[in-house]
Amino acid sequence: MTNLIACHGCDLLVDVADLQHGERAYCPRCGHFLTRYRHDMMNRVLAFSIAAIILMLVSLSYPFLSFASSGLESVMTLRAAPGALWDYGMHALALMVAAFILLIPAFILLLLVAISVPMLMGVPAPWLSASTRLLFELETWAMVEVFIIGVIVSLVKIAAMATVVLGISFWAYAAFTICFTLAMTTLDRYQCWEMIEALENAQSPEAAR
């Protein structure tokens, strides 16, 4: 039995049928990563996604940073930050922040749950392929890990100006970043689509090609 995959880096055809649990395949010609097989991939994806969703809810509910200077205090929450930027008239900045660090990651997590639950139950849900496609198209535009580094840099910058206190939300967001990244790196594009195709073919054998 052969399972051919074409390298996205150089178009070479590589047979990846014999991968054992945990093994990765790289292109022998250009060295590009091809795929990684794990028999429990979707379990892991669902676990990381649920953890990330819980952590995101926590980080939306508590203060992110608070800042005090000359007797005045200001508290920033993640939930209100894009709205505040919008109110100050910085619409483009507000939209970028809202999209890259909250909306796109949240939407990706919902899609991850929406595909991993039916795949684990063995149900070929009608939204499987559309959701998975959207998920992979949005993947590049989630910038949670970049944002967390940005937060650390801003802390250093204002530490000279005022006292800054990190809220629970910051720690929750940092943990969310880790879970989100793990969920996305665990989800292997090739294996995921092979599973979807197998599910859909099992349901309607007459449609199998």
Q: Sign of the CA dihedral 142, 178, 189, 30?
A: positive
Shortest Å distance, C-beta 6 to another protein: 4
From candidates 1, 2, 20, 72, binder to another protein by CB under 8 A? 72
Shortest Å distance, C-beta 112 to another protein: 16
Q: Kindly write out the interface string for residues 103-132 of this chain, putting x where it contacts another protein by CB under 8 A and - elsewhere.
A: --------------------------xx-x
Q: Give the CA distances from residue 41 to residues 12, 36, 85, 96, 97, in Å, rounded to whole numbers and listed in that order.
A: 26, 9, 39, 32, 31
- Other CB atoms within a 10 A radius of the CB of residue 150 amount to 13
192 neighbors 86 (Cβ within 8 angstroms): no
Residue at 169: amino acid letter = S
Q: Choose among 64, 38, 49: nearest CA to 178.
A: 49
43 neighbors 52 (Cβ within 8 angstroms): no
Interaction of residue 1 with another protein, rule CB under 8 A: no
From candidates 65, 112, 119, 172, binder to another protein by CB under 8 A? 65
Interaction of residue 31 with another protein, rule CB under 8 A: yes
127 neighbors 114 (Cβ within 8 angstroms): yes
Tokens of 50: 């649920």
Interaction of residue 21 with another protein, rule CB under 8 A: no
From candidates 2, 20, 70, 204, binder to another protein by CB under 8 A? 70
104 neighbors 196 (Cβ within 8 angstroms): no
Q: Kindly write out the interface string for residues 43-62 of this chain, putting x where it contacts another protein by CB under 8 A and - elsewhere.
A: --------------------
Binding stretches for another protein (CB under 8 A): 4-6, 8-13, 29-32, 35, 65, 67, 69-70, 72, 74, 76, 81, 84-85, 88, 90, 92-93, 96-97, 100-101, 129-130, 132-133, 136-137, 140, 143, 146-147, 149-154, 156-162, 189-190, 193, 196-197, 209
